[in-house]
Amino acid sequence: MAARGMCEGRVVIVTGGGRGLGRAHALAFAAEGAKVVVNDLGVALDGAPGEGSAAGSPARRVVEEIRAAGGDAVAHGGDIATEEGAASLIATALDAYGRLDTLVNNAGFLRDRMLVNLGEDDWDAVMRVHLKGHFLPLRQAAAHWRAEAKAGRAVAARVVNTTSGAGLLGSVGQGNYAAAKAGIVGLTLVAAAETGRYGVHVNAVAPAARTRMTEQAFADLAGVPEDVSPLVVWLGSAASAGVTGRVFEAEAGRITVMEGWRPGPTADKGARWTPAEAGETALKLLGEAEPPGAVYGV
């Protein structure tokens, strides 16, 4: 561990921190001097029950790695997609270290199906872990930071949410996952606007890396989780002051600022269109517009 790092003195929570991207983020934050709360429920790739909070759980193994390297970390094995689990996650950081500076929302799993084969349970489960699993810890952390700000204590808090190219462009066979990840972008924009007054910056990263979630569907990915973590660490540090409400894509050695919906070609008749006029105008505007990015898998 470096004697002084970018995150020296900061307390960082990483959800889904036991494997893949989350593990890489937790280790990278610790290497930069942060004290880390590693959350992981220990479930299988599809969310089925796994190792849980047992002594050999993924979260505890990462904590042991951090401690072996000279860092400081604690494990949390609760379900952050529940009110109780999200509250206990924030409480774990405060009880262990007396403060919270950064929340990295990363937990998730996949239940891929083509739309006509996608069951309601598969839809609900993916929405729950990705979207609700971002919302509940974010709300709990934001409430804490608001209280700190109102008490007159300086806050330089950071939230890094995890979206996906699937949520930005769509991905065949991943309607539930794509919808959840698109929702995370919307949540990021709102949270950034609402919590900035309390000293909180909220951004999102769309990572592309070889993990157990991507190795089957996207075998040609060049990057590994450790390639994404440097950007996440910077966004989670005080060095990212002034950067909020933005979405980045990170893969291998490439970082891209993703530009979302904004007004393109427009026409205003000044009165109500007929259906035929509306169609003719829409086709004209589409001819002037930038074509959308290709949906993954097409």
Q: Where are the alpha helices (DSSP H) in the chain?
A: 20-31, 58-68, 83-97, 120-127, 133-150, 165-169, 175-195, 225-235, 275-288
State the DSSP code for 153: -
**Is 164 considered catalytic here?**
yes
Residues counted in the chain? 298
Angle at 8 between CA 3 and CA 10, to 5 degrees: 155
Q: Which of 246, 226, 245, 239 is nearest to 7 (CA)?
A: 239
Pick the closest to residue 83 from 120, 138, 17 (CA basis): 138
- Round to whole Å and give the CA distance between 271 and 279: 15
For residues 200 and 143, the answer to whether their CB atoms sit within 8 Å is no
Cβ(149)–Cβ(198) under 8 Å? yes
Map residue 148 onto helix, strand or coil.
Answer: helix
Catalytic site residue from 35, 97, 132, 181: 181
Q: Which of 88, 132, 177, 237 is catalytic?
A: 177
Q: Are 29 and 36 in contact (CB under 8 A)?
A: yes
Query: Active-site residue among 88, 164, 237, 240?
Result: 164
DSSP 294: P
Indicate if the alpha-carbon torsion angle 277, 169, 123, 173 is positive or negative.
positive
Catalytic annotation on 177? yes
**What residues are paired with 76 via a beta bridge?**
39
Q: Which residues are catalytic?
A: 164, 177, 181
